[in-house]
């Protein structure tokens, strides 16, 4: 179940963010705050963004921030920062409003999580509903209760 | 038929790309093995895939690999995946 990977307080909506890097930092910090990883993972993600560019902006309006599996990670986890005002990442999929992040302690434990995530996000209207959701509860229903 | 789903680390995007490519292929009735690999693994592979799926950002880093490279803009769009795979494989 996808919902089991979202720790307490790991889904946040807010008006805007100063930059894409700030939004990524905040999203990954939600993984830290919800107990999925240690703080050093934030730097690992930012380093990877610096080296590889915005490669994790994988669909129009959506980023999936992550770094390689690492010792900083305590458990497979996901988090989401949804912005009302999108930010610019430099990707062809700009502007970005949905900044997901994930972490995995090794190269296998997140396979099921990403499989479930991919299936949900490929479902008609899920992306639009997340982009346009008027309240946090609507987003939580989609991600945690699979209610579209 | 061997297909590589490639991303920078071989851990996130490529895994999503693999799972959605498998869904698109099964809808098309095409049998293929899809492996999620990193750019380095794709470059150094013993057994080269016939087709490589990747996001546009990393195409430059795949130059020179002897496989047909397909760029996928929206990896959640099974329609885009299906159309591009069908055009390449048929």
A110 is catalytic: no
Which residue(s) pair with B6 in the sheet? B37, B54
Q: Model confidence over A106-146: pLDDT tens digits?
A: 988 888 899 999 999 999 899 999 999 999 999 999 999 87
- pLDDT for residue B45: 79
Q: Is A108 helix (H, G, I), strand (E, B) or coil?
A: coil
| Alpha-carbon separation of residue A117 from A21, A84, B41, B70 (angstroms) | 23, 22, 24, 22
Q: Is the CATH code 3.40.930.10 the one for domain A2-143? A: yes
Q: Are strands A62-65 and A6-14 parallel, antiparallel or unpaired?
A: unpaired
Is B76 touching A (CB cutoff 8 A)? yes
Question: What is residue A147's predicted lDDT score, i.e. its pLDDT?
Answer: 60
Cα–Cα distance measured from residue A40 to residue B72, given in angstroms and rounded to the nearest whole number: 31
pLDDT at A38: 98
A36, A66, A82, A110: the active-site residue: A66
Chain B partners of A114 at a C-beta cutoff of 8 Å? 12, 15-16, 19
- Residues A36-54 have pLDDT tens digits of 999 999 999 999 999 888 8
Q: What is the CATH number of domain B2-89?
A: 3.40.50.2300
Among the listed residues A79, A27, A103, A64, the one whose alpha carbon sits nearest the alpha carbon of residue B20: A64
pLDDT digits (tens, 9 = 90+) for A46-96: 999 998 888 889 999 999 999 989 999 999 999 999 999 999 999 989 999
Confidence of residue A148 (pLDDT cuts 50, 70, 90): low
d(CA B63, CA B75): 21
The Cα A28–Cα A101 span in angstroms is 6
Please provide the average confidence, as pLDDT, over all residues in chain B.
91
């Amino acid at each position: 179940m996808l919902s089991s990977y979202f720790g307490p307080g790991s889904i946040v909506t807010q008006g805007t963010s100063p930059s894409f890097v700030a939004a990524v930092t905040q999203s990954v910090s939600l993984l830290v705050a919800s107990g999925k990883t240690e703080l050093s993972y934030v730097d690992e993600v930012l380093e990877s963004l610096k080296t590889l560019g915005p490669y994790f902006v994988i669909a129009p309006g959506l980023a999936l921030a992550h770094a390689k599996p690492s010792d900083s990670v305590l458990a497979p986890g996901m988090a989401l920062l949804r912005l009302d005002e999108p930010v610019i990442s430099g990707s062809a999929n700009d502007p970005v409003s949905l900044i997901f992040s994930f972490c995995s302690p090794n190269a296998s434990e997140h396979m099921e999580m990403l499989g479930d995530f991919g299936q949900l996000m490929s479902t008609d209207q899920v992306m639009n509903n997340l982009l346009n959701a008027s309240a946090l509860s609507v987003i939580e229903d989609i991600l945690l209760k699979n209610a579209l | 038929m061997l297909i590589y789903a490639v991303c920078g680390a071989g851990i996130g995007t490529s895994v999503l790309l693999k799972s959605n490519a498998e869904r698109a292929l099964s809808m098309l009735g095409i049998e293929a093995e899809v492996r999620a690999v990193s750019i380095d693994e794709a470059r150094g592979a013993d057994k080269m895939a016939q087709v490589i799926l990747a996001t546009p950002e990393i195409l430059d880093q795949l130059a020179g690999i002897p496989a047909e490279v397909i760029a996928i803009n929206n990896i959640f769009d099974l329609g885009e995946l299906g159309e591009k795979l069908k055009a390449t494989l048929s």
